[in-house]
Amino acid sequence: MLTLIAKLPLTNNSKFMRKLWTITTYLREEVGVRTNLIVVNSDDGKPQLIVMDEVISLYKDVEEIIERVTSKLAYDVGDRNFLDKVAGAATTK
């Protein structure tokens, strides 16, 4: 399960909510990742999406946001040799 945190301004956020719906739907239906979406007030008025340790501006295109989210997933959990690489790096130091 992947938790997404969206920071949105209190007003005029309908286009950002549509983007978030598109992103979560894509992740669920096309990638097979269940998501939790938490929406909070953006104190500075900047709409942002926080995924793992990365902050993504919601002003970016949906395709670019999805690409960054899925690349983060692919790097963290999709690499079948990830544990071997980590173990190899630990033994060489």
Structure confidence by residue, pLDDT tens digits, 50-87: 998 899 999 999 999 999 998 877 655 545 555 555 44
CATH code at 28? 3.40.30
Report pLDDT for 93: 38
Q: How far apart are CA 89 and CA 58, in angstroms?
A: 36
What is the C-alpha separation between 17 and 67, in angstroms, rounded?
18
pLDDT at residue number 72: 79
Q: Residue 92's pLDDT is what?
A: 39
Q: CA–CA separation, 16 vs 65, rounded Å?
A: 12
Categorize the per-residue pLDDT at 88 as very low, low, confident or very high, splitting at 50, 70 and 90: very low
Question: pLDDT averaged over the chain?
Answer: 82
Rounded to whole angstroms, how far apart are CA atoms 53 and 85?
Answer: 21
Q: How far apart are CA 81 and CA 86, in angstroms?
A: 9
3-class secondary-structure state, position 41: strand
- The range of the structural domain enclosing residue 78 comes to 2-92
Q: Work out how many domains the chain is built from and give that number.
A: 1
